[in-house]
Amino acid sequence: MDDEKVTLRMGVKEIQAMDDFLTERTDLGWTRSQFIRAAVAKYLQGDAVVTSSDKGNGVFVFLNKMEWDAIAFATGNGPYRDEEEFIRCCIRDTIAPNIAAKNANAFEAAQNIPR
């Protein structure tokens, strides 16, 4: 197979995210080029959904088509304005009760400390 050279321009944030991923996943042993080839292959297989945000902060989560379709269905047929609101509500509904319970338990334990 003859490789053809392609020039790719990426933003600093995207490069940093890629480098962070490669640093965390040393088991892959990938170079940047191998990472980009794998990402393109996944995208062409339909297993990757690419989105962007101009808000400058946040968490980027890559979902496969089935996951993205499920979220799109929930937002299209439910009370959520968009995918972002749906995900925020899911996190709030899942995490907030656990944090509140842990805080209540910590407060109760502190009250029972002998003086």
From first to last of its 115 residues, the chain has per-residue pLDDT tens of 577 888 888 888 889 988 988 898 888 889 999 988 888 887 777 655 555 555 556 667 777 888 888 888 888 777 777 888 888 888 888 877 777 677 666 666 666 776 6
Interacting residues of 17 by C-beta distance below 8 A, sequence separation 6+ = 60
Interacting residues of 46 by C-beta distance below 8 A, sequence separation 6+ = 65
Q: Which domain holds residue 4?
A: 1-48
- Residue 43 located in a structural domain: yes
> pLDDT value at position 105?
67
Alpha-carbon distance of 62 to 48, in angstroms, equals 7
Same domain, 68 and 114: yes
- Residue 102 located in a structural domain: yes
> pLDDT value at position 31?
92
Same domain, 35 and 70: no
Indicate the number of domains in the chain: 2
pTM > 0.85? no
Same domain, 42 and 70: no
- Residue 56 located in a structural domain: no
- Residue 91 located in a structural domain: yes
Same domain, 41 and 68: no
- Residue 53 located in a structural domain: no
